[in-house]
Amino acid sequence: MAELLNSLDRNVVLGMAQAAAAIALCFGVVMLCRRFAVHVERETVISLARGLVQMVAVGVVLALLLHGNLLIASLILLAMACAAAVTPRGVRRRSRTRCSSASTQSLRDQAS
């Protein structure tokens, strides 16, 4: 715990400020995309939030377990493998939804 508290030093505060600047830049790009009718707002917000939270979480876990043994490292890698197995499911579902909505739109266009 003492190691974790040591990690929360000035560097981390600086890092959060830098992350805020990077997020602001991403939102600028999202607004630019929106101007050309490319709507990625929701996905970008979710991705940025997930990315930041996950990286901080991994940092905290590593700070706590940095001196752990081989068993803990194996458990972490196993959890990563499980997360990797689950992640593409969302992508498949999303692409299927996109395909069906695109085909519906094209049918609607043809009808009109």
The contact mask relative to other proteins for 13-32 (x = CB under 8 A, - = no) is -xxx-xx-xxx-xx-xxx-x
State which of residues 2, 37, 71, 111 lies at the interface with other proteins (CB under 8 A).
37
Write down the least CB distance from residue 3 to other proteins, Å: 9
Is 48:26 a contact under the CB 8 Å cutoff? yes
State which of residues 1, 2, 44, 96 lies at the interface with other proteins (CB under 8 A).
44
Is 33:40 a contact under the CB 8 Å cutoff? yes
Nearer to other proteins, 6 or 69 (CB): 6
CA dihedral 74→75→77→82, nearest 10 degrees, is 140
Which parts of 1-112 fold into alpha helices (H)? 2-7, 10-35, 41-65, 70-111
Q: At residue 59, what are phi and psi to the nearest 5 degrees?
A: -60, -45
Write out the residues near other proteins by the rule CB under 8 A. Answer: 6-9, 11-12, 14-16, 18-19, 21-23, 25-26, 28-30, 32-33, 36-40, 43-44, 46-48, 50-52, 54-60, 62-63, 66, 80, 83-84, 87, 91, 102, 105
